[in-house]
Structure 1
Amino acid sequence: MKSKIINFGSINIDHVYRVPHLVKPGETLSSLDLVTGLGGKGANQSVAIARAGVSVAHVGRVFKGDRWAVELLASTGVDTDNIALIEGASGHAIIQVDDQGENAIVLHGGANQSFSIADIESALNHNQQARYLLMQNETNLLAEAFELAQEKGIKIVLNPAPMTDNIKDLPLAKLDTLIVNRGEAEALCGAADIDQMTQQMAALAPQTRVVVTLGGDGAMLLANGEVTHMNSPSVDVVDTTGAGDTFVGYFLAGVAEGMNDHDALQRACLAGSIAVTRQGAIKAIPDRSEVNR
């Protein structure tokens, strides 16, 4: 099946250690449990797109010993032909979680930071039918991928997480869609008040569809000078990990299917609200039939 979306995104291996308390400087602490699983914003968003029923080709890199991660992505329906197995370490996170639910995380970019321009060119050439390129901010060469996609007439969707100063150097006004949370929007435009934020984002990218996720308050969409606010259903929150990635994947899937902005926003909010009622990231992402129900 020809992919409608290319996701140039991170693949992380998450090592989650359960500990009685977060490790103190100079302390050696035995963990109570260890869970190793697939993570990374890129991988999460690709799975969300696939579970929303839209074809997606993931462009990524992992250590050759982590082939299981690629196989897991493929099992969810993601096209993994453009994921390279390399000698260097995969991107990974060392995560401590204590008895109170507090966490401390050490993140290593690894393979996610080792792309060459040739890798991106090859992926775009092998997926010429794709209409959208999705990017986050956990890989290198964002600016170069942006330029190459523009040359090919591919619409670009950016979820700049985690937010860093280099994002402001990208030609954001040329994006098709920018998806940010409240903190990222504030960092971009320097306004905390939602009305001021709306005005600033409109000035920053006047031709771009801007979506701001607001957690339990739903999401806001700004397009063509009009603002749409969508509430999220009230649910019992268990774990918010990956909820934002679920939203991004479902929203872009809706747009790629030809949904209007209102319906795509509504479905994304519903998908995100389901995800937070479950533990974990990828395993919490609902499939299309659940959201439709």
Structure 2
Amino acid sequence: MRILNLGSLNYDKVYHVEHFARAGETILAGEHAVFLGGKGLNQSVALARAGAEVYHAGAVGSDGGPLREQLEAAGADTRYLLQLDTASGHAVIQLAAGQNCIIVCGGANRQLTDPYIDGVLDAFGPGDLLLVQNETACVAHAMRAAKARGMQVAFNASPITDELFGYPLELADYFLINEIEGMALAGTEEKDFGAILDRLAARYKAAIILTVGAAGAYYRRGAETCHAGIFEVPVVDTTAAGDTFCGFFLAAVARGLAPADALKLASGASSLAVSREGAANSIPTWEEVQKFLAT
């Protein structure tokens, strides 16, 4: 299975703070660092480090050289990556007590066009998979165009916006979501994971992969359900945890692993990621995850 990731690429500007800034409040940051990230870049790096054959489509600005280099260093194919005469996307991330609060500015990620998407997808077909998130332009068109070519579609429903509910979600084969995104899609404010899975499984034919923080992760497709717990590690930075999970889960699916085994592998990978600071640079390799699980 070839995986085409239509994904965002951002510079992550990270600030360590005692607490998240409240409305009208000015706070001081203890430390500041800039990392390479974006949900798309993180997920492509995770896929590549997990051994998947991944191609990254998307756009960077004139400042995007390091973002392209990060993808290529991880092993992702960048032949379809555009460079536009604008600024790359970026995110402002507050870190407090191991948790994060993120603001994303789309930049070049939001300037993709339908003709560009069609040109990329013409190189793919049955047996391949398209991965999309809600951080680029043309997501709905890409989903429809991919299905028209016989591809599978994996959808990572982040961030939650009104735009997301206009997407053809019924076309997705895999939903990779966290508990907040799951609650929004299920139309509930209750953190009842079983009820969330029931509602989403009744509404969509997709396999639902729901990550729920300290409670682990769930898989549901039809009547099939499985669960994986978390691994206890010192939490340093949760920024790329979900993206690492997503990439390793899909890489495991591409290898033919059963859902329960894919969940365990992805949980191990995300546990390693949160024990390190940063986004893409915190994502482990397949070999590191295997060694971690063995010990």
Question: Normalising to structure 2: TM-score of the pair?
Answer: 0.89
Match of 1:61 among 56, 59, 62: 59
Deviation string 1:138-187 (CA, Å, 9 cap, x unpaired) is 01111100111011001000001011223223232321111111111111
Letter in 2 for 1:13: Y
| CA drift at 1:238 | 1.8
Contact 1:11-1:41 within 8 A present in 2 as well: yes
Deviation string 1:164-221 (CA, Å, 9 cap, x unpaired) is 223223232321111111111111112322222122111111x211110011221011
Contact 2:6-2:57 within 8 A present in 1 as well: yes
**For residues 9-158 of structure 1, what are the structure 2 equivalents within 5 Å?**
9-17=7-15, 33-95=31-93, 105-128=102-125, 131-158=128-155
| Separation in structure 1 between the aligned mates of residue 18 and residue 267 of structure 2, nearest angstrom | 35
Contact 1:93-1:105 within 8 A present in 2 as well: yes
| CA drift at 1:13 | 1.1
Letter in 2 for 1:133: L
| Separation in structure 1 between the aligned mates of residue 167 and residue 76 of structure 2, nearest angstrom | 28
Contact 2:61-2:83 within 8 A present in 1 as well: yes
Match of 2:290 among 279, 285, 292: 292
How many residues end up aligned between the 2 structures?
288
Letter in 2 for 1:39: G
| Correspondence 1:249 to 2:247 | yes
Deviation string 1:51-82 (CA, Å, 9 cap, x unpaired) is 00111000011112321210121111011111
Letter in 2 for 1:89: A
Letter in 2 for 1:12: N
Contact 2:143-2:171 within 8 A present in 1 as well: no
Question: Relative to structure 1, is the Cα distance of residues 202 and 149 closer, same or farther in structure 2, using a 3 angstrom cutoff?
Answer: same
Letter in 2 for 1:181: N
| CA drift at 1:126 | 3.1
Alignment-derived partner of residue 195 in structure 1: 194
Deviation string 1:115-138 (CA, Å, 9 cap, x unpaired) is 001111111123447610000100
Contact 1:10-1:91 within 8 A present in 2 as well: yes
| CA drift at 1:32 | 6.1
Name the SS for the 1:178 alignment partner. strand
| Separation in structure 2 between the aligned mates of residue 84 and residue 55 of structure 1, nearest angstrom | 20
Deviation string 1:225-256 (CA, Å, 9 cap, x unpaired) is 22211112222222211001000000001111
Match of 1:209 among 201, 207, 230: 207
| Separation in structure 1 between the aligned mates of residue 128 and residue 99 of structure 2, nearest angstrom | 40
| CA drift at 1:97 | 5.1
| Separation in structure 1 between the aligned mates of residue 161 and residue 15 of structure 2, nearest angstrom | 27
Contact 2:219-2:227 within 8 A present in 1 as well: yes
Name the SS for the 1:126 alignment partner. coil
Question: Relative to structure 1, is the Cα distance of residues 212 and 96 closer, same or farther in structure 2, using a 3 angstrom cutoff?
Answer: closer
Question: Normalising to structure 1: TM-score of the pair?
Answer: 0.90
Range that drifts further, 225-234 or 209-218:
225-234
| Separation in structure 1 between the aligned mates of residue 15 and residue 216 of structure 2, nearest angstrom | 31
Match of 1:225 among 217, 223, 226: 223
Contact 1:133-1:149 within 8 A present in 2 as well: yes
Contact 1:14-1:92 within 8 A present in 2 as well: yes
Name the SS for the 2:262 alignment partner. helix
Letter in 1 for 2:142: A
Name the SS for the 2:247 alignment partner. helix
Name the SS for the 2:158 alignment partner. coil
Letter in 1 for 2:14: V
| Correspondence 1:235 to 2:233 | yes
